[in-house]
C-alpha cells in the first residue's frame, strides 16, 4: 500500500501546483449553480532556509519556552491559506490532506 501511495504522490508532484480535480462530485446536481468544485494543491518542502545542526549546544535547553520556540503551522491551514490567496472569490468548505511522503 505504501508503494502505491508513493507512486501517487510522485504523479501529483509532476502536475501543477494548484489544479481543479475534474470529475463531478455530485452528477445529479450538475445543473445547479452552487455545485462544489474540488481543487488539489501541492505542498513541497519544509523550511525555506534549512538550519545546519551543530554538535555543540549553546543557550537555553530544548524544553524551555524561550525565543527559539516557533509555531508550526498545520498543513490544513497552509492548504486553506494558499487556495484562499489564489481563489479569493470562492468560499472554502473543507480542506483535507490526502497523502504525505516521509522519506
SS (H, E, C) 25-93: CCHHHCCCCCCCCCEEECCCCCCCCCCCCCCCCCCCCCCCCCCCCCCCCCHHHHHHHHHHHHCCCCCCC
Total domains present in the chain = 1
Question: Does any domain span residue 95?
Answer: no
Question: Does any domain span residue 23?
Answer: yes
Question: Does any domain span residue 78?
Answer: yes
Question: Does any domain span residue 84?
Answer: yes
Question: Does any domain span residue 24?
Answer: yes
Confidence at residue 2, expressed as pLDDT on a 0 to 100 scale: 78
Low-confidence ranges of the chain (pLDDT < 70): 22-36, 44-72, 96-103
Question: Does any domain span residue 3?
Answer: yes
Confidence at residue 101, expressed as pLDDT on a 0 to 100 scale: 58
Domain region containing 33: 1-44+73-89
Confidence at residue 49, expressed as pLDDT on a 0 to 100 scale: 63
Distances (CA, A) of 13 to 16, 46, 81: 8, 15, 19
- Is pTM beyond 0.85? Reply is no
Question: Does any domain span residue 98?
Answer: no
79 vs 41: CA distance, rounded Å: 7
Question: Does any domain span residue 55?
Answer: no
Amino acid at each position: 500500500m505504501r508503494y502505491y501511495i508513493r507512486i501517487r504522490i510522485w504523479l501529483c508532484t509532476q502536475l501543477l501546483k494548484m489544479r481543479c480535480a475534474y470529475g463531478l462530485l455530485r452528477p445529479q446536481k450538475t445543473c445547479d449553480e452552487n455545485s462544489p468544485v474540488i481543487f488539489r494543491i501541492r505542498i513541497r518542502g519544509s523550511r525555506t532556509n534549512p538550519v545546519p545542526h551543530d554538535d555543540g549546544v549553546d543557550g537555553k535547553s530544548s524544553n524551555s519556552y524561550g525565543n527559539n520556540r516557533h509555531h508550526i503551522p498545520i498543513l490544513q491551514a497552509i492548504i486553506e491559506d494558499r487556495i484562499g490567496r489564489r481563489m479569493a472569490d470562492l468560499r472554502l468548505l473543507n480542506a483535507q490532506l490526502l497523502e504525505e511522503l516521509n522519506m
